[in-house]
Amino acid sequence: MTVHDAIARSLADILGRDCRSVILHGSLAAGGFRPGASDIDLLAVVDRPLTDGQADAIVALLLDADLGDATGVELDVITARTARSPMPAPPLELHVGRYPTEVEIERRLTAAPDLPAELSMARQNGRALVGATPEQVLAPIPPEWVVARGRHWLRTWQGLTDDTDHAAFMVLTACRIWRFTAEHVHYPKTVAARWVLTQDPSLSAVGQALRQYEGDSAAVVSVPGIADVLARALSVGSVS
């Protein structure tokens, strides 16, 4: 049994009859998973809001879980009502992110503006580990919502181009946003980045970010290059 299957089954045990689906998405489902560099991304859909006991048990499970060759795990829990009634900033029952240097725990958020993009990716590329399929539980997300939120982050990162610790992440995610804006299809970071280079080979920061992401510790992503990628991504399309 894989580590993500084991986590999903344990989640289903905690949720009991309230568990509608546990969906694997992100790089493990869509391709592009890199051992030692990628996370496990999970979405749980439940019939009723979580109890405090269920939320506590889920947090404990994820903090103690064996992650195998993944560097972290992210889980979002939403109700079936939220899953079938999309909105630009839907409520979120629970978010748990366990990463190498930090842990994020958020409970009962009334508005989660980044969630629609996750739901869109889960519906397109997700795979049910427990229960109903993504198409059965997740309503389609209007692509303009995903584009609008992506553009929000592109504009935010324009003020953070000197953040060297997150340079590759910003550039590669900008490439994903760019390609989704153009095609309304989600692609893994590396696939989107290589596509961007076919659109504009002069964007040197994309190649630098790819080399860094793929393990070249000597690769440096230039600050002016990050700014160029963000500006080009923002120039593609517009929110209707």
Q: Are residues 41 and 127 in the same domain?
A: yes
Q: Are residues 107 and 226 in the same domain?
A: no
Final residue in a domain of this structure, among 105, 137, 169: 137
Domain tally for the chain? 2
Distance (Å, rounded) from C-alpha 15 to C-alpha 56? 12
Kindly give the confidence (pLDDT) of every residue in the chain, 240 residues in length, as a single tens digit, with 9 standing for 90 and above. Answer: 899 999 999 999 999 999 999 999 999 898 878 888 889 999 999 999 999 999 999 999 999 999 999 999 999 999 999 999 999 999 999 999 999 999 999 999 999 999 999 999 999 999 999 999 999 999 999 999 999 999 999 999 999 999 999 999 999 999 999 999 999 999 999 999 999 999 999 999 999 999 999 889 899 999 999 999 999 999 997 544
- For residue 239, tell me if it sits in a domain: no
Q: How many CB atoms lie within 10 A of CB 72?
A: 18
Distance (Å, rounded) from C-alpha 222 to C-alpha 24? 34
DSSP string covering 105-144: EEEEES--TTHHHHHHHHHHH-EEEEES-HHHH-PPPPHH
Q: Are residues 83 and 180 in the same domain?
A: no
Range of the domain at 210: 143-234
Which amino acid does the sequence have at 230? L
> Residue 131: left (phi > 0), alpha (psi -120 to 50), or beta?
left
